[in-house]
């Protein structure tokens, strides 16, 4: 791989590294404090979760879902009311909320997939509808989830917003469990790479070059270890990280490994050809929007737990963060290409910019300006490079 | 005044890999109706696009002399300024706008403040009178029929002060009555001194209106025939159109047609998906044996593609009726998945639009229609997929460095091979190939013919839809001829000739 293709392939990763170094220097290293690194993940958990779902929608042809912010609010509101007013079991609350979210997604997926309502319009309607329902359920108030020890509210918060602590391993100062988990992840990643190569060699399939593959895995492992080392010196592994990792892993698996995931790329690449290949394209749209709302529901629970309360403005403009992450992460604005890995990089890039500017004390307004500029540059890059390969235009 | 209003001298136009026009000459006298005839792909439309500036000056070689001066049209606008107006086969009208708005689109009647609508509709009305169109100028295009839309196009041309009117297949979508009216209109204009060039497949119409007939074949001018008396023998034109000899451009094959019928279709009718009352395929019956290549001949718009797609899991049309048997078993194929599982494959004529996902790899394209074959529990075995793709790459001799290459980077012939691989991978018993050799070079054509021969040698059935008659004659065991949605003839290839096929089409047109 020469320098040019390397830069083209890893543009956003390089951008992330540059931005990260820039903010680390600018904040005089404060960005690297364990607490800030831990918050980076927790504060952006909702973006990561939403962006995975948004990617599926965007893959089908650059379609977006504008209603996710409102769905976050609605599901958050339902959860908060169930916990406070009815004192329901948190597990039941979570399951019910996810079922509701799924129904919302099926509602939108039905109109978009089977009746062919343009997604932009259908989800714009959803944006108003679900925000309205959410506010009605909240009765225009802010509802705080009770935090007293032993209450259902506290148990709910523990499921999403606590930290893992293993007695005996973790000390007051260092949560060794975090670093141990990091080492396990690093070892597993390395093992998977090696086993894959062995398997390929045995069957005589073509291999990617060993140097690039191992260089990549070593870099990733180093990052995992460094990050968990930092986490160990704060409060340990946040439970939220487990949720996010699970979602990211599942979506990465679906998009890259399964036949089902292939169909999303195929529809975005050429819907007519996909249909004539015997694939039910209506169902692909339906499932894209169903999964989007399901994740929006999960995100609503995460946000409710992190903030500890829900109000009528919860989830405002979350859809924009999710959409932005996808496009910054290299998803094509025309559909058909984009990876979960890219989207994660995009979301983290946005997160680092936010975090860095917050630490520096810049006000919110400028954060919008910078986010907007980054998004525009990323999409211009995508369109221009696509033009060269003759897709856009 | 010069003897000719228009002279096109030694026009040569090349597309990547294909010479569409090769030293074409065309001379048109003022005030005559000049017909351009030739098979699909002979270069008629290309020639007219050169003339109108759609292919700008510099992309072709040769001279256009119009009214005694050499012209270099860079845009459509340049040629329209000189009074040359082209009306394309697919009408360029906007359905949601009114007749008047369409007529002056890009050429708006301006008043002091913006568009002068009174003037627009008055002038539109005047031009509509000239063409005998009895409608209000405010009527929306979508509310009038195709025949009237054609008249709007002509009225639009008149509004541009047309001196030389070019009509590309003006009557292809019109019924008998509307066609007659249109042709008479042209004759009327001729009396007023207007010159027209008309491209048409309908030889009876040409014989009726044209003064001169220029025949194009394979991008060259063959001859210009005089038709002063308007009584030319159609066979005379046909001979000019198809007159090439068949050489060994087709690989030989042992004709081992089995008695077993692979697919049988009876009384198949399909209606247009939007204009529900229009029958696109009308009561068609045919069959194909195992080990047989059956050809479908006909002009563009004869309903062959629509027939094939409607059989292939109802991919086209509404209100489909008829019986379908595959290997003697009655089948009801409700969607493409059903069709694939029943052993049917349809290789589309529009490989870029309907066939391939251009930005995805060869391997991914090949496996798409039967992804489950390289899957374990829903997980794609990429290694197996690549192995399969490599296998087809070898078998079909697809020229590519790797099967990871995006299909969009391949040449037309190689893309076609990928498309064929895709459907061979689906392992069908009956393959429908729609224009399998369109737009690809002679060498790749030969290879595709060889693949077809291999398939029938394995006892599969192949249906080939093609507009190239020599190809059908060279490859098929049996040929069906369709015209305007109906099956008009069936003949063994051994007895078929291009003249026979052409006259079958033309005979049915007259009825």
The pLDDT mean for chain A works out to 90
Distance between CA B303 and CA B39 in Å, rounded?
17
pLDDT by residue (tens digit) across B445-467? 888 999 999 999 999 999 999 98
In a domain, A23, yes or no: no
Q: Give the bridge partners for B464, in sequence order.
A: B295, B433
Residue A178 CB-half CA count within 13 A: 26
Longest CA–CA span in chain B (Å) reads 79
Q: Is residue A21, in this structure, part of any structural domain at all?
A: no
Closest CA in chain B for residue A391: B359
Position A8 in a domain: no
pLDDT at A389 over 60: no
Q: Give the span between the Cα atoms of B24 and B9, in whole angstroms.
A: 7
In a domain, A39, yes or no: no
Q: Which of B447, B448, B496, B452 is nearest to B470 (CA)?
A: B496
**Domain final position from A198, A220, A237:** A237
Query: In the structure, what pLDDT confidence band is assigned to residue A124 with cuts at 50, 70 and 90?
Result: very high
**Residue A17, in any domain of the structure:** no
- Counting the structural domains of chain A, the total is 2
**A259 vs chain B: nearest CA distance in angstroms?**
6
A96/A192 same-domain check: no
Sheet holding B164-168, edge to edge: B84-87, B164-168, B195-199, B33-37, B212-217, B220-226
Identify the pLDDT of residue B433.
96
| Residue A260, token pair as written in the block | 């089902």
Could B360 and A336 be called an inter-chain contact, meaning their C-beta atoms sit closer than 8 Å? yes
Task: Examine the domain organization and report whether A369 and A312 are in the same domain.
Answer: yes
Q: Do A219 and A261 sit in the same domain of this protein?
A: no
| Spans of chain B below 50 pLDDT | 245-246
Judge whether A301 lies within some domain: yes
Residues A276 and A191 in one domain: no
| Predicted ipTM beyond 0.90 | no
CA distances from A276 to A109, A170, B271 (A): 21, 58, 19
Closest C-alpha among B211, B215, B145, B217 to residue B181: B145
Is A173's Cβ below 8 Å from some Cβ in B? no
The whole-number pLDDT of residue A392 equals 38
Interchain proximity A259–B336, CB inside 8 Å:
no
Both tokens of residue A152? 């259902």
Cβ-Cβ contacts under 8 Å, A276 against chain B: 312, 315, 336, 346, 348, 354-355
Q: What's the average model confidence in pLDDT over A313-340?
A: 91
Q: Which residue ranges does chain B devote to CATH 3.40.50.300?
A: 6-242, 261-343+428-510
Q: Mean of the pLDDT values across residues A203-227?
A: 85
Q: Quick one: pLDDT at residue B511? A: 60
**Terminal alpha carbon distance of chain A:** 29
> Which parts of B368-497 fold into alpha helices (H)?
382-395, 412-425, 442-457, 469-475
3-state SS, chain A, equals CCHHHHHHHCHHHHHHHHHHHHHHHHCCCHHHCHHHHHHHHHHCHHHHHHHHHHHHHHHCCCCCCCCHHHHHHHHHHHHHHHHHCCCCCHHHHHHHHHHHHHHHHHHHHHHHHHCCCCHHHHHHHHHHHHHHHHHHHHCCCCEECCCCCCCHHHHHHHHHHCECCCECCECCCCCHHHHHHHHHHHHHHHHHHHHHHHHHHHHCCCCCCHHHHHHHHHHHHHHHHHHHHHHHCCCCCEHHHHHHHHHHHHHHHHHHHEHHHHHHHHHHHCHHHHHCCCCCHHHHHHHHHHHHHHHHHHHHHHHHHHHCEECCCCCCCHHHHHHHHHHHCCCCCCCCCCCHHHHHHHHHHHHHHHHHHHHCCCCHHHHHHHHHHHHHHHHHHHHHHHHHHCCCC
| A290 token code pair | 């169903």
Helix axes A239-257, A152-161, angle to 10 degrees: 50
Smallest CA-to-CA distance from B438 within B460, B467, B461, B462 is with B467
Q: Are strands B329-330 and B293-297 parallel, antiparallel or unpaired?
A: unpaired
Q: For an interface test with A, which of B335, B368, B427 has the most A Cβ atoms less than 10 Å from its Cβ? A: B368
> Using CA atoms, how far apart are residues B90 and B146, in angstroms rounded to an integer?
10
Domain boundary among the residues A202, A237, A272 is at A237
Same domain, A136 and A173: no
CA distance A169 to B11: 86
Query: Are the CB atoms for A327 and A333 separated by under 8 Å?
Result: yes
Contacts of B346 in chain A (CB under 8 A): 276
Q: Which two tokens stand for residue B384?
A: 């197996």
Of B282, B287, B304, the closest CA to residue B482 belongs to: B304
Q: Does residue A387 register a pLDDT over 60?
A: no
Instruction: Give the pLDDT of residue B326.
Output: 93
Residue numbers in A near B339 (CB within 8 A): 278
Whether A320 shows a pLDDT value over 50: the answer reads yes
Better-scored residue on pLDDT, A210 or B124:
B124
In degrees, rounded to 5, the angle at the alpha carbon of residue A166 between the alpha carbons of residues A161 and A170 is 105
Show residues of chain A in contact with B360, CB under 8 Å: 265-266, 269, 336
Location of structure tokens 């196009």: B153
Q: What is the pLDDT of residue A314?
A: 93
**Is the separation of the CB atoms in A244 and A45 below 8 Å?**
yes
| H or E segment to which residue B316 belongs | none
A28 to each of A42, A231, A349, A364, A382, how far by Cα in Å?
22, 20, 19, 21, 33
Residue B292 is predicted with a pLDDT of 94
CATH of the domain at A101: 1.10.3470
Minimum Cα–Cα distance from B347: chain A residue: A276
Q: How far is A258 from chain B (nearest CA, A)?
A: 4
pTM of the entire predicted model: 0.80
H/E run at residue B92? none
Q: Are residues A251 and A228 part of one domain?
A: no
pLDDT score, position B14: 83
The structure tokens listed for A158 are: 């523990």
Range of the domain at A215: 167-237
What band does A391 get if pLDDT is binned at 50, 70 and 90?
very low
The residue from A237, A260, A293 where one domain ends is: A237
The chain A residue lying nearest B402, using CA atoms, is A206
Query: What DSSP string runs through B151-220?
Result: HHHHHHHHHTT-SEEEEESTTTT--HHHHHHHHHHHHHHHHTT-EEEEE-S-HHHHHHH-SEEEEEETTE
- A&B contacts, CB < 8 Å: 85
Distance CA B337, CA A318 (A): 38
Tokens 């209506």 locate to A282
Cβ neighbours of A258 in B, within 8 Å: 378-380
Q: Which pLDDT score is estimated for A380?
A: 83
**SS3 letters across B113-143:** CCECHHHHHHHHHHHHHHCCCCCCCCCEHHH
Residues 6+ apart with CB under 8 A from B427: B343, B370
Topology (CATH) of B6-242? Rossmann fold (3.40.50)
Domain B261-343+428-510: give its CATH superfamily.
P-loop containing nucleotide triphosphate hydrolases (3.40.50.300)
Q: Tell whether A85 is within 8 A of chain B (Cβ).
A: no
Which residues fall within 8 angstroms of residue B241, CB to CB, at 6 or more apart? Answer: B37, B38, B39, B42, B215, B217, B222, B502
Distance of alpha carbon B300 from alpha carbon B172, whole angstroms: 9
State the nearest Cα–Cα gap between B386 and chain A, in angstroms: 9
A228 lies in some domain? yes
The count of other CB atoms within 10 Å of the CB of residue B387 is: 17
Residues A108 and A156 in one domain: yes
Cβ pair A136, A80 in contact under 8 A: no
Q: So what's the pLDDT on residue A388?
A: 47
Cβ of B346 within 8 Å of Cβ of A276? The answer is: yes
In this structure, the answer to whether residues A122 and A143 fall within a common structural domain is yes
Q: Which of A258, A275, A337 lies nearest to residue B378, judging by beta carbons?
A: A258
Same domain, A298 and A270: yes
Verify that A105 and A231 share a domain, yes or no: no
Give the pLDDT of residue B41: 66
* C-alpha span between A288 and A106 (Å, rounded): 10
Supply the pLDDT for residue B246: 42
Instruction: Go through A118-150 and write b for each residue having 16 or more CB atoms within 10 A of its CB, e for each that does not.
Output: ebeebbeebbebbbebbbebbeeeebebeeeee
Going by C-alpha positions, the residue among B439, B22, B49 that lies closest to residue B220 is: B22
Q: Quick one: pLDDT at residue B425?
A: 95
From CA A74, how far away is CA A125, in angstroms rounded? 14
Local confidence band at A324 (pLDDT 50, 70, 90 cut-offs): very high
Give the integer Cα–Cα distance in Å for A91 and A139.
24
For residues A62 and A201, membership in a common domain is answered with: no
| Distance from chain centroid for Cα B293 | 22
Position A350 pLDDT exceeds 70: yes
State residue B356 phi and psi, 5-degree precision: -120, 155
Is there a single domain that holds both residue A205 and residue A350?
no
Nearest to A293 by CA among A48, A54, A45: A54
Q: Which of B337, B348, B360 sits opposite A278 (nearest CB)?
A: B337
């Amino acid at each position: 791989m020469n320098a040019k293709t390397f830069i083209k392939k890893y543009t956003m990763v390089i951008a992330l590294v540059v931005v990260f170094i820039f903010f680390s220097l600018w904040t005089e290293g404060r960005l690297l404090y364990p607490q800030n690194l831990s918050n980076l993940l927790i504060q952006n958990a909702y973006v990561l979760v939403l962006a995975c779902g948004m990617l599926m929608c965007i893959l089908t042809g650059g379609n977006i879902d504008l209603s996710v912010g409102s769905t976050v609010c609605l599901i958050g509101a339902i959860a908060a009311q169930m916990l406070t007013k009815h004192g329901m079991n948190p597990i039941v609350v979570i399951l019910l909320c996810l079922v509701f979210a799924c129904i919302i997604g099926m509602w939108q997926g039905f109109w978009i997939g089977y009746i062919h309502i343009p997604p932009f319009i259908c989800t714009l309607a959803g944006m108003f509808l679900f925000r309205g329902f959410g506010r009605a359920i909240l009765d225009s108030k802010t509802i705080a989830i009770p935090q007293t020890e032993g209450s259902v509210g506290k148990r709910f918060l523990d499921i999403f917003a606590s930290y893992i602590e293993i007695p005996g391993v973790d000390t007051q100062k260092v949560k060794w469990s975090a670093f141990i988990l990091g080492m396990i992840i690093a070892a597993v990643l390395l093992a998977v790479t090696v086993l894959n190569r062995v398997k390929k060699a045995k069957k005589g399939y073509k291999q990617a070059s060993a140097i690039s593959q191992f260089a990549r895995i070593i870099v990733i492992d180093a990052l995992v270890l460094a990050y968990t080392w930092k986490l160990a010196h704060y409060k340990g592994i946040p439970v939220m990280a487990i949720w996010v990792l699970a979602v990211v892993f599942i979506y990465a698996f679906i998009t890259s490994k399964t036949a089902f995931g292939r169909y999303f790329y195929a529809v975005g690449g050429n819907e007519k050809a996909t249909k004539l290949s015997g694939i039910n394209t209506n169902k692909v749209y339906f499932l894209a929007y169903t999964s989007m709302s399901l994740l929006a529901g999960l995100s609503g629970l995460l946000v409710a737990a992190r903030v500890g309360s829900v109000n009528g403005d919860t989830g405002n403009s979350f859809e924009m963060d999710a959409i932005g992450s996808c496009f910054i992460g290299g998803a094509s604005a025309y559909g058909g290409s984009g990876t979960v890995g890219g989207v994660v990089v995009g979301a983290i890039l946005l997160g680092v910019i936010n975090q860095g500017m917050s630490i520096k004390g810049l006000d919110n307004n400028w954060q919008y300006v910078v986010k907007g500029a980054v998004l525009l540059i990323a999409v211009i890059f995508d369109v221009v490079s696509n033009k060269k390969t003759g897709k856009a235009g | 005044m010069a003897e000719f209003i228009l002279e096109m001298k030694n026009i040569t136009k090349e597309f990547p890999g294909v010479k569409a026009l090769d030293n074409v000459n065309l001379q048109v006298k003022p005030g005559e109706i000049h017909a351009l005839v030739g098979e699909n792909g002979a270069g008629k439309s290309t020639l007219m696009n050169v003339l109108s500036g759609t292919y700008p000056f510099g992309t072709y070689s040769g001279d256009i002399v119009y009214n005694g001066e050499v012209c270099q049209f860079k845009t459509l606008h340049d040629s329209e300024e000189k009074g040359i107006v082209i009306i394309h086969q697919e009408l360029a009208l906007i359905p949601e706008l009114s007749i008047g708005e369409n007529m002056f689109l890009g050429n708006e009647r301006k008043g002091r403040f913006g568009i002068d609508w009174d003037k627009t509709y008055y002038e539109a009305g005047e031009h509509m009178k000239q063409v005998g169109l009895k409608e209000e100028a405010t009527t929306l295009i979508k509310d009038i029929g195709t025949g009237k839309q054609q008249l709007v196009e002509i009225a639009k041309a008149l509004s541009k002060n047309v001196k030389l009117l070019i009509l590309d297949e003006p009557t292809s979508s019109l019924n008998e009555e509307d066609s007659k009216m249109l042709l008479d209109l042209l004759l009327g204009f001729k009396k007023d001194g207007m010159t027209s060039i008309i491209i048409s497949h309908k030889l009876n119409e040409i014989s009726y209106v044209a003064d001169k007939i220029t025949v194009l074949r394979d991008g060259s001018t063959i001859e210009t025939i005089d038709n002063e008396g308007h009584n030319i023998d159609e066979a005379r034109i046909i001979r000019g159109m198809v007159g090439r000899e068949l050489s060994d451009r087709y690989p030989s094959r042992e004709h081992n047609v089995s008695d077993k019928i692979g697919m049988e279709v009876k009384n198949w009718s399909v209606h247009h998906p939007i204009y529900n009352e229009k029958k696109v395929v009308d009561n068609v019956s045919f069959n194909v044996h195992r080990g047989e290549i059956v050809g479908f001949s006909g002009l563009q718009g004869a309903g062959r593609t629509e027939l094939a797609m409607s059989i292939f899991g109802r991919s086209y049309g509404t209100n489909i009726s008829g019986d379908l048997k595959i290997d003697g078993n009655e089948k009801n194929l409700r969607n493409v998945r059903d069709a694939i599982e029943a052993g049917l494959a349809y290789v589309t004529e529009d490989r870029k639009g309907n066939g391939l996902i251009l930005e995805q790899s060869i391997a991914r394209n090949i496996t798409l229609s039967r992804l489950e074959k390289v899957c374990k529990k829903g997980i794609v075995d990429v290694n197996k997929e690549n192995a399969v793709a490599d296998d087809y790459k070898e078998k079909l001799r697809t020229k590519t460095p790797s099967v990871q290459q995006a299909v969009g980077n391949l040449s037309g012939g190689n893309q076609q091979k990928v498309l064929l691989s895709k459907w061979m991978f689906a392992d069908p018993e009956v393959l429908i190939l729609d224009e399998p050799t369109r737009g690809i070079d002679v060498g790749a054509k030969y290879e595709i013919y060889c693949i077809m021969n291999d398939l029938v040698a394995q006892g599969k059935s192949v249906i080939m839809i093609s507009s190239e008659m020599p190809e059908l004659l060279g490859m098929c065991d049996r040929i069906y001829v369709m015209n305007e949605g109906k099956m008009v003839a069936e003949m063994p290839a051994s007895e078929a000739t291009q003249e026979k096929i052409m006259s079958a089409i033309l005979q049915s047109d007259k009825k």
